Amino acid sequence: MARLFGTDGVRGLANDHLTVELAVSLAQAAASVLAQDSREHGRRPVAVLARDPRISGEFLSAAVAAGLASSGVDVLDAGVIPTPAAAFLTAEIEADFGVMISASHNPAPDNGIKFFARGGLKLADELEARIEEALDEPPLRPQGGEVGHIDVFADAEDRYALHLLRSLPRIHDDGRPNLDGLHVVIDAANGAAAGVSPQVFADAGAEVTVIGNEPDGMNINDGVGSTHLERLQAVVRRLGADLGIAHDGDADRCLAVDERGDVVDGDQIMAILATTMQRRGKLVNDTLVATVMSNLGLRLAMREHGIEMLETKVGDRYVLAELNERGLSLGGEQSGHVILTEHATTGDGVLTGLYLASVVGLTGRPLSELKQVMKVYPQVLVNVRDVRKDDCDHDAELQAAVARVAAELGETGRVLLRPSGTEPVVRVMIEAETHEIAHRTAHELAEVVRRRLAR
């Protein structure tokens, strides 16, 4: 049987791959694995349940709630809130686990189910494997008063909003709100943050203009949000706003737009936050965690500022694991998953946006100037398909070609070959001083991959 869990839970086309039956079974399996400690100590297990606003989330959350309650788990249904809010609330009320129904930045017909362990942490691979094994076992069948209750988590969004506001560092000694005087445009992607993000920014003192805040169940991520920045760029330019903040459907990502309407990606956001936190003594061990796909410019900028940069595999779960293992405070991905571990157990797009805006307020410098802390090197990615990806690291001629390209690029370039985890594909990524060099070199190396690894 193929592994059911992907890099971020179980995802698929709702009512096709991701059915009511699978949702109920997953919930029952999760109840048997993640609530075991409470049962052994005679406590009633509790789970936090939340979703983004896509229409299929209604029946899937109902199915999950039914599966959990039938297994003796009390369910607190928080309704539509961001993924990081579900993680925060799981930790705050000391629930046994949390469940989020969302397909993040995917289109509306897709959906997903992901779990958080006690403390609001993403599940370890071992726990996911145990849940998959439990799918083949008889579910728990408590009777009478031993079945779970399903209640509305009435103040879920308010608790999360208050947490965000309390997390912001104070930047004004005269009692003014943090973002006082800033005009921020927020693109909520017609997603889970459509209510809470604009409200929190306003409560923090910003003048707020909102787009992508009319979810109807089918328009999530549709031409808006962090994967479609064009509208946000246009609005920021037209209104002369100080910056724009873009979330994805479940608001665990944040990308930004400066006052000129130019994009500020996750690497640039991390560079700004890392150097600011370093100056404030908040960057633990002067270390940032990012993935192998982060831009060369981030590495060089961190080196220039005396900040060590640790690399992980692609995926925010690997960034988070490194942060937790080493007790570090900041990490993330180019895509906008940024993790501030002092205040969050996962990527939090609203928190990241607030922190970024607060740096603009703290320094009085425009975002277009702040992002100059790093130079973005041209990055070209070529996917070489239908190849023997497992031989990528073992072919002597290919590895010699990689070494030759790396030597030619020197410190102002980088080469990365990365086999796909799911397809017969090798991804060739080149960074260089100019786009022309990166494009030419990437395609030349891709030809070597095709020739040497052809199936």
Residue that is written with structure tokens 């994009």 in the block: 263
Catalytic member of 25, 70, 104, 294:
104
pLDDT score of 454? 86
Beta strands in 92-154 (DSSP E): 97-101, 110-117, 121-122, 150-152
213: which residues sit within 8 A by CB, 6+ positions away? 186, 188, 190, 194, 195, 198
CB 105 within 8 A of CB 133: no
Per-residue pLDDT of 382-407, as tens digits, reads: 999 998 988 888 889 999 999 999 99
* Mean pLDDT for all residues in the chain: 94
Whether 104 is catalytic is: yes
pLDDT score of 383? 93
Q: Note down pLDDT in tens along the chain; length 455 residues.
A: 467 888 788 999 999 999 999 999 999 999 999 999 999 888 999 999 999 999 999 999 999 999 999 999 999 999 999 999 999 999 999 999 999 999 999 999 999 999 999 999 999 889 999 999 999 999 999 999 999 999 999 999 999 999 999 998 777 766 677 899 999 999 999 999 999 999 999 999 999 999 999 999 999 999 999 999 999 999 999 999 999 999 999 999 999 999 999 999 999 999 999 999 999 999 999 999 999 999 999 999 999 999 999 999 888 889 999 999 999 999 999 999 999 999 999 999 999 999 999 999 999 999 999 999 999 999 899 999 998 988 888 889 999 999 999 999 988 899 988 888 667 889 999 999 999 999 999 999 999 999 999 87
- What separation in angstroms does the CA of 154 have from each of 65, 157, 158, 166? 16, 8, 9, 20
Per-residue pLDDT of 247-296, as tens digits, reads: 999 999 999 999 999 999 999 999 999 999 999 999 999 999 999 999 99
pLDDT score of 159? 98
pTM of the entire predicted model = 0.92
pLDDT score of 175? 66
CA dihedral defined by 14, 15, 16, 17, rounded to 10 degrees?
Answer: 60
Per-residue tokens: 341 = 């571990």
- What separation in angstroms does the CA of 145 have from each of 24, 72, 215? 20, 9, 38
Residue that is written with structure tokens 């993040």 in the block: 104
Per-residue pLDDT of 18-48, as tens digits, reads: 999 999 999 999 999 999 999 988 899 999 9
CB 17 within 8 A of CB 112: no
Which domains are assigned to the chain?
10-154 (3.40.120.10), 161-373 (3.40.120.10), 379-453 (3.30.310.50)
Per-residue tokens: 57 = 């989330």
b/e map 59-79, b = 16+ CB within 10 Å: bbbbbbbbbbbbbbbbbbbbb
- What separation in angstroms does the CA of 293 have from each of 91, 126, 378? 30, 26, 12
CB 391 within 8 A of CB 441: no
